[in-house]
């Protein structure tokens, strides 16, 4: 459809917010379901998780035209840079909670199984029962493992983005 104008109210995306999260917040604001809101953006029948996994330039342009959010910012909210094998790792919402982040904001990093601290404020994430990794392991063990866990998470983040291939061998069983 042509001649569509920018929506009157557009919520600003949060840092590292994923596209599905921002679209859900916008849909809630307009009292619509996500599929209804996608239809309003000119993307009827599009599954929001497929959309954020591989946002095409044309789709980015459509959303940019209706919301005024730049295509570059929209592409950064999608998972386009992730390798195909990583898709199964990406949960549909935050795997763990951050006490300092708004509950309705789902960040890209928080969908990944190896994230144990918030990418934005560094707070330890906790599971839905309230426990952090340090609670589960005990603080002495957590302190001993923390650097290894951080290194592992960094490697997995690189792997998910197709970076650093060949830079490290497959990780073998290691004992601490």
Binding mask 138-157 for Zn ion (x = CB under 5 A): --------------------
Please say which residue, 81 or 121, places its beta carbon nearer to Zn ion.
121
Of 130, 123, 129, the C-alpha closest to 98 is: 123
Q: How many residues bind Zn ion (CB under 5 A)?
A: 6
Binding mask 82-111 for Zn ion (x = CB under 5 A): ----------------x-xx----------
Reduced DSSP (H G I as helix, E B as strand, rest coil) percent helix, strand, coil of the chain, to 5: 45, 5, 50
Q: Is 121 in the site for Zn ion (CB under 5 A)?
A: yes
How many Å apart are CA 20 and CA 24, to the nearest integer? 6
Please say which residue, 48 or 98, places its beta carbon nearer to Zn ion.
98
What tokens were used for 72? 């570059």
Binding site for Zn ion (CB under 5 A): 98, 100-101, 118, 120-121
């Amino acid at each position: 459809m042509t001649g569509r104008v920018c929506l009157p109210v557009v919520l600003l995306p949060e840092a590292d917010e994923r596209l599905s999260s921002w679209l859900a917040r916008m849909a809630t604001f307009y009292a619509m379901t996500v599929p209804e809101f996608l239809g309003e953006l000119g993307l009827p029948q599009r599954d929001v998780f497929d959309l954020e996994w591989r946002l095409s330039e044309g789709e980015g342009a459509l959303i940019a035209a209706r919301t005024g959010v730049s295509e570059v910012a929209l592409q950064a909210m999608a998972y386009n840079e992730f390798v195909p094998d990583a898709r199964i790792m990406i949960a549909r919402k935050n795997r763990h909670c951050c006490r300092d982040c708004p509950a309705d904001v789902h960040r890209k990093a928080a969908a990944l199984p190896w994230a144990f601290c918030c990418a934005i404020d560094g707070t330890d994430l906790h599971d839905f029962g309230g426990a952090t990794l340090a609670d589960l392991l005990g603080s002495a063990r957590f302190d001993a493992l923390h650097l290894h866990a951080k290194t592992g998470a960094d490697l997995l983040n690189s792997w998910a983005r197709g970076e650093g291939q060949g830079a490290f061998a497959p990780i073998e069983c290691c004992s601490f």
